[in-house]
Amino acid sequence: MGVSMATARTWVERWERQQELYAVDREERFTVIADVVERTVAGRTSPMLLDLGCGPGSLAARLAARLPRAEIVAADMDPVLLELARTHHADAARYVDTVIGADGWTRALGLERPLDAAVSTTALHYLSEPVLLRTYRSLASLLRPGGVLVNGDHFPPEAAPCADLTAHVGRCRSERTGGHAREDWRSWWDAAAREPELADLLDERRRRHARHSGSGGDEQVPVSRHAALLRQAGFAHVAPVWQFGDSTVLVAVMGDTCGLPAPAGT
């Protein structure tokens, strides 16, 4: 099922371009996530990080470049995207095939010490509220005191008129930056289906999707509910640290200390 480096590079680069259609200021969002993680792990010689729904390794690769001493575990269930990540971003992370939120999914991670940070971007919005709560509880059990969960995704406001406005602002931003002219998610997959090196992986992907059909979609869980679920799961502090339209980076902190080093001179 392996793919060549040249093929992996082609499809990862196309993935990066098409994702800019959906994630407003995607590179800035990645940078903000890395800012939070860097601040949280300051002074730690080998931070332990988990990338949830890693896809082809986009966020893991950026974190590895920013924090070269970090140990990163990257999890996803999509065999195509995982193989692209293992080939194109082989040194960024240890990639794990698991279904986030399923029974026993954390055992597959093979973690031998507590996490300093768990991160995700545009990957958890398909989970229903009960599965989100279960997932957040699992992550709370894996994080050290002061560790963080950093989730960059589309979080609609609770009120429908406001949700419509935040989505509109995001679409306008995408159009101004040329995102509307890019390849979209569906056309990327349609084109990938014609790539001979991905044929076996795509067959496996179809089998997996058939097994998990009806298990999730875009659940549109508002940011206020995410915050409530995170607190219910055991996180002490929850706050957005960046937002444009409905694209938000939400941070949840374990324990009572916020996990941050004391300012210089204290």
For 40, 42, 165, 197, 266, the CA distances from 263, given in Å and listed in that order, are 13, 12, 38, 52, 6
Domains annotated for the chain, with CATH where assigned, are: 5-253 (3.40.50.150)
| 7: helix, strand or coil | helix
To which residue do tokens 């996803």 refer? 76
Q: What pLDDT shows up at residue 247?
A: 87
Per-residue pLDDT at 254: 97
d(CA 73, CA 163): 34
- For helices 58-66 and 26-40, the axis angle rounded to 10 degrees is 50
pLDDT in tens, the chain (266 residues): 579 999 999 999 999 999 988 777 889 999 999 999 999 999 999 999 999 999 999 999 999 999 999 999 999 999 999 999 999 999 999 999 999 999 999 999 999 999 999 999 999 999 999 999 999 999 999 999 999 999 999 888 776 677 677 777 767 776 776 655 578 999 999 999 999 999 999 999 999 988 876 555 677 888 999 999 999 999 999 999 999 888 899 999 998 644 444 333 33
For residue 196, give the nearest of 5, 7, 6 by alpha carbon.
7
Per-residue exposure over 115-151, b if at least 16 CB sit within 10 Å of its own CB, e if not:
bbbbbbbbbbbbbeeebbbbbbbbbbebbbebbbbbb
Record the pTM.
0.89
C-alpha–C-alpha distance, residues 44 and 33, integer Å: 18
User: What pLDDT, on the 0 to 100 scale, is given for residue 261?
Assistant: 46
Consecutive H or E run containing 247: strand 247-253
DSSP string, 140-204: HHHEEEEEEEEEEEE---SSHHHHHHHHHHHHHHHHHTTGGGS--HHHHHHHHTT-GGGHHHHHH
**Token pair for 47:** 């931070």
Q: CA of 229: how far to CAs of 46, 133, 156, 196, in Å?
A: 30, 6, 15, 43
Quote the pLDDT of residue 258.
44
Can you read off the two tokens belonging to residue 263? Answer: 């300012």
Helices first, then strands: H and E counts in the chain: 9, 7
**Chain-centre distance for alpha carbon 194:** 27
Backbone angles phi, psi at 250, to 5 degrees: -105, 130
Q: Which of 235, 47, 29 is nearest to 149 (CA)?
A: 235
| CA separation for the pair 10, 192 (Å, rounded) | 10
Cα gap 66→38, rounded to integer Å: 8
Length of the chain: 266
Q: Over the stretch 39-71, which tens digit does the pLDDT of each residue have?
A: 999 999 999 999 999 999 999 999 999 999 999
